[in-house]
Chain A
């Protein structure tokens, strides 16, 4: 029986030997690695961009608010009562009550129409209750049900979530997220096929060798091993290449983006792939390399039998 240390040594040897072979014939391997790298960089890059967009909108997200314009018949006291009821709700962070007179005062001070208003007998402003949802409930669905329940209240003339555009943005982002998944799935499949095809060609090139190894008692595992390690190296190098492509692209974009941010009085800067994201990219790439070669090996090795 083979001792574990010998076993590990053999694996290391095959691992390094396959790497050596790849380095010795770089051109054909580079093609495969480039295809893998680009195919993986595309969905990864889009994912990073989407994450950045999400980060930006997350800041607006917190600002989601519902304005309740009350009926003129509602007294200040009744309005205060309503504000207190709302304050007790779990899904509401804070509530601001602007009475009719406060609204008038504010308008008078902030607009130039102070004198014009003096002419009016009645205060034309309704009382307003501004509701700020908690962070947990600050998503479209919850906010929308909240809005619907407010509309039913007898005191409320008009309940308004002035964030239709946010809804659209969410929808677009959701679409984008799904699109990226579909793209990632399709490109992963193509990576699998590219690796599989490269390994298939490698198997065909070494047909004689495989036949001879089978003749003198090489096990399937022994024959499979170098091809699987080749797939591993393709996966690793393709993953590294795609990481570099994504990181480079983000770096190229970060200049213009921070300029843009300054124009908006923000110090926002693009964030690239984080550590765990990078690990996932590499892991996925290695998995695809291994899976592609595994498929090729199991489909084509059995067909080679010595006679």
Chain B
């Protein structure tokens, strides 16, 4: 589903944020992405969402190299990638329902279908009773779950989360992680960047570790290019 082959990313005017990163995440696989602050976790996730382009190497989603796709194609790639942000990125002047409906409105679903799917998604994260609330009236954990409902409402095959439990208490963090597991069980590839090593070890999934932009654990050590040498 997701493949990185010797991917490097250099931001203008700084050294490599990622260097020679190779790994694979199969369909329906869940993995944690960990590493010290500044290790390049967010950079890696952004490459998958085409928020940035790789300096070198190939980023493949479903065997399509998304490193060089045209600007026009980017939205369609992003529709296959549900992203959950630490700061939620919700629209505060819209109701919970409208926030969650946004990806469906964008892809042009008929009205009735939107209502049905939004409620199913809100039900999944346990916020069905809050559909008419404004996000500002919700707690941090609830807002995070609204973000998750929005990310999964159009059933993307890939789910990315950047520190989704950053400032939640351990119990809530666990609940959210279990929610991700449920998506994984229905075939979604899930990649979660997190600092929370305790929680990661408890969950027992694949762990990708970054250190100064290099993948020190969980990656592919014999990337295709290496084999050829």
* Inter-chain contact B150/A216, CB cutoff 8 Å: yes
Closest chain-A Cβ to B103's Cβ sits at a distance in Å of: 5
Residue numbers in A under 8 Å from B72 (CB-CB): 219-220
Interface residues of A toward B: which range? 20 to 34
Closest chain-A Cβ to B161's Cβ sits at a distance in Å of: 13
Residue numbers in A under 8 Å from B83 (CB-CB): 215-216
Which residues A203-262 have CB closer than 8 A to chain B? Answer: 208-209, 211-220, 222
Residue numbers in A under 8 Å from B150 (CB-CB): 216
Which residue in chain B gives the minimum CB-CB distance to A10? Answer: B108
* Inter-chain contact B91/A217, CB cutoff 8 Å: no
* Inter-chain contact A215/B108, CB cutoff 8 Å: no
Please report the C-alpha to C-alpha distance between residue A75 and residue B11 in the assembled complex, in whole angstroms.
Answer: 103
Residue numbers in B under 8 Å from A9 (CB-CB): 110-111
* Inter-chain contact B108/A2, CB cutoff 8 Å: yes
* Inter-chain contact B102/A219, CB cutoff 8 Å: no
Does A307 have its Cβ within 8 Å of any Cβ on chain B?
yes
Does A306 have its Cβ within 8 Å of any Cβ on chain B?
yes
Does B79 have its Cβ within 8 Å of any Cβ on chain A?
yes
* Inter-chain contact B89/A215, CB cutoff 8 Å: yes
Closest chain-B Cβ to A17's Cβ sits at a distance in Å of: 11
Closest chain-A Cβ to B200's Cβ sits at a distance in Å of: 25
Residue numbers in B under 8 Å from A120 (CB-CB): none
Residue numbers in B under 8 Å from A212 (CB-CB): 89-91, 102
Which residue in chain A gives the minimum CB-CB distance to B99? Answer: A212
* Inter-chain contact B78/A217, CB cutoff 8 Å: yes
Quick one: which of A9, A213, A216, A305 has the most chain B CB within 10 A?
Answer: A216
Residue numbers in B under 8 Å from A209 (CB-CB): 91
Residue numbers in A under 8 Å from B111 (CB-CB): 9
Please report the C-alpha to C-alpha distance between residue A211 and residue B88 in the assembled complex, in whole angstroms.
Answer: 13
Q: Using an 8 Å CB-CB cutoff, how does the interface string of B51-91 with A read, 1 for contact, 0 for none?
A: 11000000000000000000010011111000100000111
Does A6 have its Cβ within 8 Å of any Cβ on chain B?
yes
List, sorted by A's number, 7 A–B pairs whose CB atoms are closer than 8 Å: A2-B108, A209-B91, A214-B75, A215-B49, A215-B51, A216-B79, A217-B76
Name the 7 nearest CB pairs between A and B, nearest first: A217-B79, A217-B78, A2-B108, A217-B75, A218-B106, A219-B75, A216-B103
- B residues sitting closer than 8 Å to A (CB atoms) are 46, 49, 51-52, 72, 75-79, 83, 89-91, 102-103, 106-111, 150-151
